[in-house]
Amino acid sequence: MPESNQKSSKRQPLLVLGKITEILDSFSFSRPTMTLGQIQHVTGIPMSTVQRLAGNMTDQGLLDRVGDEFRIGIRMAYWAATATKDLDVLSVVQPVLNELRDTTGETTAFFRSERDLRVCVAIAETRHALRREMYVGKIAPLTAGSAGRILLAYDPPLLDRINAQPIEAMTDATVTDPTVLRRLVEMARGDGYAITIGERDSAGSGLSAPVFDSAADIVGALTISGPTLRMPMEQCVTWVELLVSSAERITRTLGGRLPQ
């Protein structure tokens, strides 16, 4: 066989794998099921190729089919469980924080709840001279700021416990009424993200989204924060899709899933 043909035959499987990857990547938490036409629209792969690959992927358990719609195959969960066993969460989170920081120019962080507080466990600091104070190990109340709202949104017992205690006002914008806080937490759960302005410090803004594990339990809150001067509400809103998709990417890498 001529050398050029040998090279071509070696490359061909990689091209097929690339298309399979594109099809798998086209599914998301917001788009868990799709028809062949929708897969073709999202990936741009020719319909004949989509039909052939989707059929083969279904036969191999990479996809499951119900009627005219496809979804990621249950067999993939077995592989994901093996891949994520003993996976260091922060090793997955940090590159995403760096990427978000570089895209937005603002500080990005990852928070977990510890008892009745939230703690920063990873950070990528802004390169701007004007910044909000944040560092790994910093502790803050769950009742002020977007990260706290997200952590409370997916932990009802924690919300009940926090709401049974007096809520300290950190600024004039801090929500201290338990009924109002519960309503805002429920809104954050419904939206899948939270934006707060001036709750923890009067000149600061933040937006956060949840990350989940394979049991659909919350792992932490992914956050973009900065001075309100650079992050007014309009700017925060424009970053919601970027933030949510980044949090979803971490969840998928961890083999996680959204709560029902």
Q: Which domains does the chain have, with CATH numbers?
A: 3-73 (1.10.10.10), 84-253 (3.30.450.40)
Instruction: Convert the pLDDT of each residue in 175-202 to its tens digit.
Output: 999 999 999 999 999 999 999 999 999 9
Question: Cα angle at 22 between 18 and 23, to 5 degrees?
Answer: 120
For residue range 67-101, what is the model confidence (pLDDT) as tens digits? Answer: 999 998 877 766 765 555 545 788 899 999 999 99
* Cβ neighbours for 185, distance < 8 A, ≥ 6 positions apart: 149, 152, 153, 159
pTM score, two decimals? 0.70
Q: How far apart are CA 38 and CA 36, in angstroms?
A: 5
